[in-house]
Amino acid sequence: MERLVMTPGPTQSSEEVRGALSIKNTNTDLDKDFFKLYNDTCKKAKKLVNSKDSKAIIMLGEAILGLESACASFIEEGDRVLCIDNGIFGRGFGEFTDMYGAETIYFRSDYKRGIDVDELEKFIDENGPFKLATLVHCETPTGITNPIEDICPLLNRKGIISIVDAVSSYGGEFISMDEWAIDMLIAGTQKCLSVTAGGTLVFLSNRAVEVLENRKSSVRSFYANLKNWLLVMENQKFPYTHSDALINSINVALDRIIDRADYVQRHKELAKKVRDVFINSGFNIYANKDYSNTLTAIKMPEGIDFDHMFNYLKDEKNILIGGSIAEFNGKLFRIGHMGENAKDEHIYIVLKALDEYFKHMNLTLEKSLHIEFAKIK
């Protein structure tokens, strides 16, 4: 039986996307047809952020490359950077800003809900000015979503360049880059796109490009230097050898999403069903509000060890679900319902396996998870 991977990324790939990885390879530095494929893929990628004005870049490297590239490319020694911290990844952005010489100032907020924009504005007025602000759209370790539609326009009004980690939301949440005045948005291939890990998608506003072009010092990296990508299509030359197979699979994956106009609503409805099932069955969702549409983080029941549950599901049911990290390690378990994982039949299988595990552990639930799921329309 094929393993069912229901982690909050990497996600399972469709047969069509997997097949797109098997194209006969070419020389991506010389083949003009590859430049056409790359350009076409970038244009499609912009549709998922509803942008006409931004510049799209697809880099070869897991999505962390996008986070580091943002800091390497925009930060100059001593720049004051606002790190918006209401989750592990939001807090972790500060490690990159420090690495590239920033003076990092943290706005810390409740990890169980999205950012309060009024509180953020007050903090900026009292502690600014800032050149950049880093923030996370979907905090994957805890399953909350931040209101970037309100945060980024605020940052824009304050003259602050916004850098948004949308790795777990791109392709699962509605994003309007131009309308929301987002300056840089970062996505990855292995989450809602359901492509193998190894690609980073970056979107830059005109304002961000201008800042890049006018920085005073050289970028302290080559591989993570976004300036190297600004003239790729004009010069038809990449900073390094690209992957034709990966770009082809991203292209196919984007078609699958674009062809389904309801992709945001589908994620939203399934996420609510999953939350309702666990709440109705006596579990506690970690977040208090501002829930993610692409994954759900649930508190571990008392007396249940996550590693034991994980190994049971893997060994007995051939299913993978996620735990969490850092201070939430062993305290939360997470189910991904993003991209190719966002299917009722997959969730049903996971919930049925969890029911059997909890019965095996003599834990009585208020309601059966999979039966409750089947009842919800």
Q: At what angle do helices 244-258 and 32-47 cross, to 10 degrees?
A: 30
Residue with tokens 């430049």: 35
Fold classification of 4-8+263-375 is: Aspartate Aminotransferase, domain 1 (3.90.1150)
Residue 367 makes CB contacts below 8 A (sequence gap 6+) with: 280, 281, 282
pLDDT, residue 260, reads 84
Q: What is the pLDDT of residue 1?
A: 64
Place of tokens 């072009």: 213
- CA angle centred on 82, ends 81 and 86, rounded to 5°: 145
β-bridge mates for residue 332, sequence order: 299
Contact 8, 336 (CB under 8 A): yes
- The count of residues in the chain is 377
What sign has the CA pseudo-torsion 247, 39, 174, 157? Answer: positive
Which token pair is 142? 């805890």
pLDDT tens digits in sequence order for the chain, 377 residues long = 689 999 999 999 999 999 999 999 999 999 999 999 999 999 999 999 999 999 999 999 999 999 999 999 999 999 999 999 999 999 999 999 999 999 999 999 999 999 999 999 999 999 999 999 999 999 999 999 999 999 999 999 999 999 999 999 999 999 999 999 999 999 999 999 999 999 999 999 999 999 999 999 999 999 999 999 999 988 899 999 999 999 999 999 999 999 888 999 999 999 999 999 999 999 999 999 999 999 999 999 999 999 999 999 999 999 999 999 999 999 999 999 999 999 999 999 999 999 999 999 999 999 999 999 999 87
Asked if 134 and 97 touch (Cβ cutoff 8 Å), the reply is yes
Rg (CA), the chain: 21
4/1 Cα distance (integer angstroms): 9
Q: CB–CB of 201/45 below 8 Å?
A: yes
| Per-residue pLDDT, 114 | 98
Contact 224, 65 (CB under 8 A): yes
4-8+263-375 and 15-258 in the same fold: no
Domain definitions of the chain by residue range: 4-8+263-375, 15-258
Which architecture does CATH list for 15-258?
3-Layer(aba) Sandwich (3.40)
Instruction: Find out whether the peptide bond into 141 is cis, omega within 30 degrees of 0.
Output: no
DSSP assigned state of 7:
S
Residue 343's pLDDT is 96
Nearest to 61 by CA among 197, 248, 198: 198
Instruction: Look at residue 305 and give its three-state secondary structure.
Output: coil
Adjacent-strand bridge partners of 85 = 108
